[in-house]
Structure 1
Amino acid sequence: MTMVQNILHINSGDLLRIEAKTLHSILDEVIFKLLSTLSPVMRNTATKLLLLMAQSHQEILILLRLSACYKGLRSLLNKQEPGTEFCQEFRQLICLLSPKVHQEVEEQKLHQAACLIQAYWKGFQTRKRLKKLPSAVIILQRNFRSKRAKILLELNRQKEEEDRRLQLQLQRQRAMRLSRELRLSMLEIVHPGQVEKHNREIEEKSALIIQKHWRGYRERKIFLQQKPSLVEYKAAVILQRATLKFLAKCRKKKKLYTPWQGFRELTDARRIELKQQVDDYVRRHPGSQMSDVTSRELHSQAQERLQHYFMGRALEDRAQLHREALKAQISTNIEQLIKAPNLKEAEWKEPELFLSRSRPVVAKAKQDHLTTLKHIQAPWWKKLGEEAGDEIDVPKDELSVELGTLFIGGTKPP
């Protein structure tokens, strides 16, 4: 066996060159030593040799599996009890000879291992869940207490609202009872003949109060309904104004930077005609020779006139912008005056929107105001000879005003 083992280690291909009968004899001898010998050393050597032969040559492995001579070899090997010294080699040999059984055994072992791992994992999860149970109970108790506190708070709030409503109802009933008692006491004081008149006056006052409240409610409702349309109208006005300004600016830029489109092409007849006209003009107006000094003077005059023209054009552009700004300001003032509230409805902050910084405007406005007041306060006999267009003189000392007194739109109070 040692010689065969050395041959396999040195050159395993030589074993297949042996005749089949000799190979069967060697295998029989090795198997006999493995199964019948009691010596662990011999059994270990035979097992290793048989395993080496089966692993080295596929033909020998097929022969051991399928040959009729070795039909009971697997059952005999399974009945053997291998020693601890060569237990691994013995199991490898059994696995090589019976792969399906070994695969089933391995799958069963893997299944048992998976079941064991799952059992350990489930136990770990269960222990972890059990550890968390006290905290979960605490959380549940906290949530339950908070919910119960919210419910109690809501019940207390509802109870307070109910008590408040009952108190208001009692106060209203008490006030109605007192008003009726007061009315009865007043009716006792009034003369019997004046009772009907007194009742009529009370009914009229009540009707006026009801009408006042109803009109106020109706006006507020109408205002709330018209408020979105008013906001849309103001937004549309602002957008239109901005759009018009933008379009005017674009038109102005287009005028300033109009590209040169070139001259129209002239026909030959037109060229001959123009040349004839130029020759006639030159013949009728012969040019006089000009000195260098005179030409320089004319050139400087032309430059001055051109500079004066450009400066005047810039001033005209500024004046035009100023006029457009004044027009926009006047339109804004008119719009603000049209939308101004009535004096009865005006609040204390609204007059600040109609203040002015311009002293001439203030003086003129105050003069017109004093004129109107004098015309209104004058006796009737002074108005007999007046006409609609007559002006009333106002002393200059009455026109001493300060800034920030009257309206000019588009400005803020100082």
Structure 2
Amino acid sequence: MEEEELQELKRKLEDEDLDQEQRINLLTSSLSKALNSAALQPDGGVSSSLLKSRLYLSGVLSLCVTALNSRKLQNDWSAMATLAHLTCCCCVGVEPGRHSEAFHRLFLPSVMDAVLSLAGQLMRRSECWSQFRKTMKDSVGRLLEDQTHLSSHVLSSAHYEQIQMCDDVAVTLLCIQMWIQICSTNRNFLSELSDDSTLLLLNEAIGQLALSSDPAVGGASIRLILLMASQLRLRLRPLLLSFRGLDSLLDKDWRGRGFDQDLEQLIALVQSEQRMSQSEVSTEHVRAACVVQAAWRSYQTRRRVKSLNRAVSTLQRRYRARRRQQQQQREVQRWQEELSYQVFVRRQQARRRFHQKQRRLLQLLPPDQVASYLQEVERRAAVVIQSFWRGFRERQRYNTQRHTLIETHNRQQAAMTLQRAVRRFLEEHRAAKAPPTAAFWIGQEGLTDSRRAELKRQVEEHIAVNRSSCVSPQQCQLLHHQVQLLLQSELQRRLDRMKEDQHLEALMAHTHTQLDLLRDAPPLSVVTATDADSFLSPSGSVTARGRDAHNAALQAERLPWWRTLGWTDGGPAHQQEAELEAELGGLYVGGVREVDGAKR
């Protein structure tokens, strides 16, 4: 497949009119044809590796992954399984060159996730068992044989965990057989795995032995563990030792199931590893304990001898500092107690002098005024106490409502900012959609182009026959142009005046609404948080103004027709009152009053 064919295929796949099913069919047919043609090419043609590299670099394989990850409803699951198989085949033997790191760390994991996700969807449909088997063995298995580093990604994948958690014995057996086939086909597969990946694979096999009771699953798991032991040898010893009680589990649950020979071999391997590990561990532990104890004791002795003088001097310095600090604290406490005692004595003396002065003043007062004086003193004391109590209560209320008021103010400011931005956006949008200014030629509505050309021709013929002796045609055209400019400027000024009038009317309406709210506002002593929110928010004034306008419209509909005219039966005085009331927004109260004997 040449570069032109690849670009043409990519262009067809990126076409928006192409639905998901057609895109999958196109990808399947194109990839199958390209792989078959590359396999049949002689040595001089395009090799399979070069073709796969071109497919990756051109982005066709990325489109395959996108199609596999599609969440739309799929009807042809066979085509999806075939596409997954072809995608995995194209990923085997690719030579990405300078894009090698992105190919192995990003692209291949995405391909594996897409294939495992498709396998999970096929597993949940009983009629797609053959496609599921093909996807797991032919697609996932083949890709793992070539790309060993994907094993850790597969074993830790959420899609593979969902497949493992399936209760179907056939699914579990298929997964175990897939790993056995990979290990048997590629002898270097297990040796290239990391310790973490090997532990995950071993954990899966032993987990199936602990959870499943099917003989086929148990035999496959035991064969997989023996295959790992034969290939890894010494690397498997510390991993097997982490599974305590494995030999008892095998002897208790799986003996007499038809694979006793493999079972005995695995039990002997586990027990031999345990005996070797126990003897080695005990000897190594004793030697390590002796070395650690000797090193620790020598370190403690050297440290004690070296830091003895420094410890003594540090202890003395801290003791002296502590004693000096305690002495200073005692001095400070004594001065505070003496100051408190002097303040108490002075207050007591001042109170005694005040009471003596008050008693002398009471002795000077007449007897009939003593009771009234005492009552006045009690009243003033009560006023002072009440003022302090009310001040304390108002401060407490203000402190509780301050946070709420601040949040309300911030929300209102944010709402005003958003509204201002939306209004500016709408004005710019309307200005962009506004039709352009009218041309100088103002024609009649309904005229066609042919009729307008005919009228223009008749006007030109009339002007040519009846030429003016005072004004030349050039001056007529210039005069016509000036008149059109004046007309256009006058229309623009009129539009600006209309906008200014609308803005003025809006400001007047807002002012009248605020005046109405202030007129009907409750006193400050009974104001609640809800009333404060209504005054802080502009929505309350708008609501009140709309309610007043609605009530006025309803009242106007109930009036007789002659009351809606400019003049009423009362004469010009009633019309003047109506104009004043409309101008002041309902604040004017009409009436008559007598001045110098005349009604005004």
TM-score scaled by length of structure 2: 0.28
TM-score scaled by length of structure 1: 0.38
